[in-house]
């Protein structure tokens, strides 16, 4: 016989079962997030957040003793099968069954505790396949029952989280299977309808149904019917369904006739539901360009004209006959400066609207969400904003300037003229941090030194202490990689109390945020920056573009045409040329065309050529300075500047010289970080 563990008595077993038995009675709570739970006298004792932590803690604490009880029972059954009476063996089997039920309850509690806190990972899901998989999994052990599933001929796909929606369907079906047990033939069916805002999924079964009173409180936590079918239930399933649907901005309700049937209606926003595609009639084909930008919110002020530039390019192309004889349709979506909205919008454009190419993003963090969707959906993505450099993959093409094009050439000139001691201020954000670090790296490689560096939070408005630090450090050059509206406060305060003889390099302050227009002269005097286009640029193409934007959108009260409006405009024309070169919108054919070296566009920013080696562009860039009248002056012209970051990173990755064009679909997803991998 196996020896028993003298430290394992009966108390843990009694405690475990007592806890499971009483937990739902003790933890009855309000459904409103964060509302304190109260006892019958109104005393507060727990919030829903507390409950989630309690579930997780108690559940893990209970797993160990239950597992041990189960193991000991099996040992006793194996060793004493011939010694114990029949009733004792039956009792042992009952104990094992109780342990299994308790472990199932614990798994339910753990799952519940993770629903609200789990990160949502969006993807395009075949809802029909998900429903069939969950149905097969739940009905496979029930061979003695006749349970049928009836679905529409075509079930919509959804843009959702696979784990959460598996939980959603599993709980709906578990509920239906349980309450149809008295039926000789159980039937679970799905019906779908759609209105202007929501898509409605009706899951119906021919079970025993519930009365109106229970239907009103069915989604309350631990709410259970008095049915014999529900004696083993936890009272969590429908509440969990409710919580999942709410996370996707939907709603859920019950329609039931007691003793006859039961229906759960799940309503989801149309944006996350992909209805079956109807056949396109001859002549109705179009090329769709999906763009994500911030028209409203905090980041809209640095991109006042990008949307107009996209619209202008599409209108011009359509007026000239479109692309390959097809009209171009622009689908512009505003993420309202809320990064949490970007993944869902990107999935909607790529999966539901079936765009041929994605563009925009505006912010580095938004870019990363869109890159992920473009990769999964295998469509090209044009990132058309000034950024920190070093981003690349098979599907992404970066069209604006990087530090190698708008910072390093400027430093080459200014370090020799003003001196090599530099102070850096930057936004405590991806663009600011990485731009600051790659500039630090370049300055040190050139023999210069960093006498100070400071990162500003987005809410910082008082820069008195920071300006005093800069004064004390007495740098030869001040570099600013500030982002957002509060950077205007720095320049106001710098003019009043800073050392005006120190030149300021500002990559965003003038050409993007137009501080030379928003602040009185001479606040921005002695500010330097590099760009391919600004509204004041006097080349023929630039002046014509500026006039077309202002004439076409005269009613929009345009404050300033930022340099990445040109990038957006140019990107549409680069995509047009690539599609025409490929003769199709097929992704791989378009990428091959973009990588050919033959795709270029001469426009308001000069000649722009797509490089297949790194999926960036060759650009003409100009060094500008703001004078004491806050006017912009051209200082120096740099033709055909290109980047090297990606190729150097690939060389380090593979141990040999290679390119994105050579690697094709095997190209890695690069997020080059100069803080850890310093390449110049």
What band does 316 get if pLDDT is binned at 50, 70 and 90? very high
Which pLDDT does position 111 carry in this prediction? Answer: 60
In this structure, are strands 37-38 and 44-46 parallel, antiparallel, or unpaired?
antiparallel
**Can you give the pTM of this predicted structure?**
0.79
Alpha helices in 356-452 (DSSP H): 364-377, 403-406, 408-418, 430-445
**Range name among 21-25, 92-96, 513-517, 662-666 with the lowest pLDDT average:** 21-25
Q: Which of the two residues, 484 and 397, has the higher pLDDT score?
A: 397
Q: What angle do CA 265, 270, 271 make, to 5 degrees?
A: 135
What pLDDT, in 10s, does the model give residues 501-533? Answer: 999 999 999 999 999 999 999 999 999 999 999
Of all residues in the chain, the percent with pLDDT exceeding 90 is 59
* CATH superfamily of the domain spanning 403-537+620-671: Response regulator (3.40.50.2300)
Residue 381's beta-bridge partner residues? 358, 396
Q: Which residues contact 195 (CB under 8 A, 6 or more apart)?
A: none
Start-end ranges of CATH 3.40.50.2300 in the chain? Answer: 286-399+540-553+562-608, 403-537+620-671
Distance CA 284, CA 286 (A): 6
Name the band, by pLDDT with cuts 50, 70 and 90, for residue 107. low
286-399+540-553+562-608 under CATH 3.30.930.10, yes or no: no
The H or E element spanning position 572 is helix 563-582
Residue with tokens 């390093």: 408
Q: Is the peptide bond before 494 cis (omega within 30 degrees of 0)?
A: no
Q: In this structure, are strands 198-205 and 157-161 parallel, antiparallel, or unpaired?
A: unpaired
For 28-37, how does the pLDDT look when each residue is reduced to its tens digit (9 = 90+)?
A: 433 344 444 4
Q: Quick one: average pLDDT of 305-327?
A: 97
The yes-or-no verdict on residue 226 having pLDDT over 70 is no
pLDDT of residue 400: 97
Query: Tokens 């309450």 sit at which residue?
Result: 179
Give residue for tokens 């399933």: 237
Q: Which CATH number fits domain 122-274: 1.10.10.10, 3.90.45.10, 3.30.565.10, 2.40.160.10?
A: 3.30.565.10
How does pLDDT run across 48-80, given as a tens digit for each residue? 555 555 555 555 556 667 777 777 788 888 888
* Cβ neighbours, 10 Å, residue 562: 28
Q: What does each C-alpha distance from 97 to 4, 74, 94, 117, 440 come to in angstroms?
A: 21, 11, 5, 31, 66
Alpha-carbon Rg for the chain in angstroms:
32
In the chain, CATH 3.30.565.10 covers 122-274
pLDDT tens for residues 456-489? 988 899 999 999 999 999 999 999 998 877 788 9
List all residues 6 or more positions away from 77 whose beta carbon is below 8 Å from its beta carbon. Answer: 89, 92, 93
pLDDT for the residue 236? 64
Contact status, residue 620 vs residue 607, Cβ threshold 8 Å: yes
């Amino acid at each position: 016989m196996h020896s028993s563990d003298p430290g394992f008595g009966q108390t843990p077993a009694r405690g475990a079962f007592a806890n499971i038995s009483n937990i739902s009675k003790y933890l009855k709570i309000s459904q409103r997030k964060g509302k304190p739970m109260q006892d019958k006298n109104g005393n507060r004792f727990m919030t829903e957040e507390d409950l989630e932590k309690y579930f997780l803690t108690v559940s893990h604490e209970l797993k160990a003793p239950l597992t041990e009880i189960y193991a000991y029972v099996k040992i006793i059954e194996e060793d004493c099968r011939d010694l114990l009476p029949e009733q004792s063996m039956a009792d042992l089997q009952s104990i094992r069954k109780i342990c299994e039920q308790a472990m199932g309850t614990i798994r339910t509690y753990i799952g519940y505790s993770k629903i609200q806190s789990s990160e949502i990972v969006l993807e395009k899901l075949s809802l029909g396949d998900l429903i069939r998989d969950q149905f097969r999994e739940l009905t496979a052990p029930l061979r003695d029952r006749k349970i049928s599933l009836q679905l529409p001929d075509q079930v919509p796909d959804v843009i959702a989280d696979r784990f959460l929606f598996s939980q959603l369907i599993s709980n709906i079906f578990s509920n239906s299977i349980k309450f149809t047990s008295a039926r000789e033939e159980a039937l679970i069916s799905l019906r779908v309808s759609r209105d202007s805002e929501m898509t409605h999924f009706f899951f119906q079964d021919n079970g025993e149904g519930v009365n109106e009173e229970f239907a009103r409180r069915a989604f309350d936590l631990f709410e259970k019917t008095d049915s014999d079918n529900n004696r083993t239930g936890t009272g969590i399933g429908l509440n969990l369904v409710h919580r999942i649907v709410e996370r996707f901005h939907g709603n859920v309700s019950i329609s039931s006739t007691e003793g006859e049937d039961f229906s759960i209606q799940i309503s989801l926003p149309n944006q996350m539901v992909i209805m079956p595609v109807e056949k396109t009639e001859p002549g109705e084909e179009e090329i769709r360009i999906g763009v994500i930008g911030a028209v409203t919110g905090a980041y809209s002020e640095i991109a006042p004209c990008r949307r107009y530039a996209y619209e202008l390019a599409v209108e011009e192309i359509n007026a000239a006959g479109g692309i390959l004889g097809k009209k171009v349709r622009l689908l512009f979506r505003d993420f309202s400066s809320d990064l949490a909205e970007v993944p869902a919008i990107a999935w909607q454009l790529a999966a539901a609207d079936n765009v041929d190419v994605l563009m925009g993003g505006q912010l580095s963090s938004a870019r990363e969400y869109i890159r992920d969707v473009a990769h999964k959906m295998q469509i090209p993505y044009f990132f058309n904003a000034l950024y920190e450099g070093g981003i690349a993959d098979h599907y992404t093409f970066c069209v604006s300037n990087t530090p190698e094009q708008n910072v390093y050439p400027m430093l080459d000139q200014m370090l020799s003229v003003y001196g090599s001691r530099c102070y850096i201020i930057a936004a405590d954000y991806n663009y600011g941090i990485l731009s600051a670090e790659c500039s630090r790296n370049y300055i040190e490689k050139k023999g210069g030194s960093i006498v100070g560096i400071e990162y500003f939070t987005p809410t910082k408005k008082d820069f008195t202490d920071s300006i005093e630090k800069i004064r004390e450090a007495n740098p030869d050059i001040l570099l600013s990689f500030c982002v957002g509206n509060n950077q205007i406060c720095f320049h106001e305060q710098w003019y009043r109390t800073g050392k005006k003889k120190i030149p300021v390099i500002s990559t965003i302050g003038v050409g993007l945020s137009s501080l030379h227009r928003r602040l009185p002269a001479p606040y921005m005097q002695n500010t330097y920056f590099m760009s391919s286009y600004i509204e004041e640029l006097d080349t023929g193409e630039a002046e014509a573009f500026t006039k077309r934007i202002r004439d076409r959108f005269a009613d929009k009260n345009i404050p300033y045409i930022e340099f990445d409006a040109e990038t957006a405009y140019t990107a549409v024309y680069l995509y047009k040329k690539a599609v025409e070169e490929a003769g199709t919108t097929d992704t791989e054919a378009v990428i091959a065309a973009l990588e050919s070296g033959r795709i270029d566009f001469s426009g308001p920013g000069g000649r722009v050529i797509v490089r297949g080696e790194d999926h960036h562009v060759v650009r003409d860039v100009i060094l500008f300075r703001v004078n004491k009248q806050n006017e912009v002056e051209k200082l120096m012209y740099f033709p055909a500047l290109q980047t090297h970051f990606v190729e150097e990173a690939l060389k380090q990755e593979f141990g040999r010289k290679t390119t994105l064009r050579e690697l094709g679909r095997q190209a890695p997803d690069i997020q080059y970080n100069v803080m850890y991998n310093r390449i110049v």
